[in-house]
């Protein structure tokens, strides 16, 4: 996101409680802006300067998780990323408006 951009992020899981972290990634410096365990959540990110903002999930359950992510606001792009690369891929939907 560029300075002045806004991202409103919400997510729901299919009844599976997921570990989540809201993150700010700036080069080699990462910051956790909030974390917890839930089957739904949301956060508004307001960019003071150009950085990557997002949410990371981890499934601690033996059940499969389906996560729906919604993002609105003013931002350049929104994409799914897996970390580590061999992590279980989470199904997500990310409609957005500019």
Q: Are 24 and 31 in contact (CB under 8 A)?
A: yes
pLDDT digits (tens, 9 = 90+) for 52-64: 888 888 888 888 8
Residue 83 clears pLDDT 90, i.e. is over it? no
Query: CA-to-CA distance for 73 and 75, rounded, in angstroms?
Result: 6
Q: Could you tell me the residue ranges of all domains in the chain? A: 6-74
Nearest to 18 by CA among 2, 40, 49: 40
pLDDT digits (tens, 9 = 90+) for 65-80: 899 988 888 877 777 7
Query: CA-to-CA distance for 91 and 24, rounded, in angstroms?
Result: 22
Nearest to 55 by CA among 73, 36, 74: 36
């Amino acid at each position: 996101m560029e300075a002045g951009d806004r991202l409103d992020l919400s997510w729901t899981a299919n009844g599976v409680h997921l570990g989540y972290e809201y993150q700010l990634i700036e080069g080699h410096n990462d910051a956790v802006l909030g974390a917890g365990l839930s089957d739904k959540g949301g956060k508004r990110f307001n960019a003071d300067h150009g950085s990557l903002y997002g949410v990371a999930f981890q499934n601690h359950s033996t059940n499969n998780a389906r996560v729906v992510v919604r993002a609105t606001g003013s931002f350049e792009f929104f994409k799914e990323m897996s970390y580590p690369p061999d992590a279980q891929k989470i199904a997500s939907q990310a409609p957005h408006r500019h």
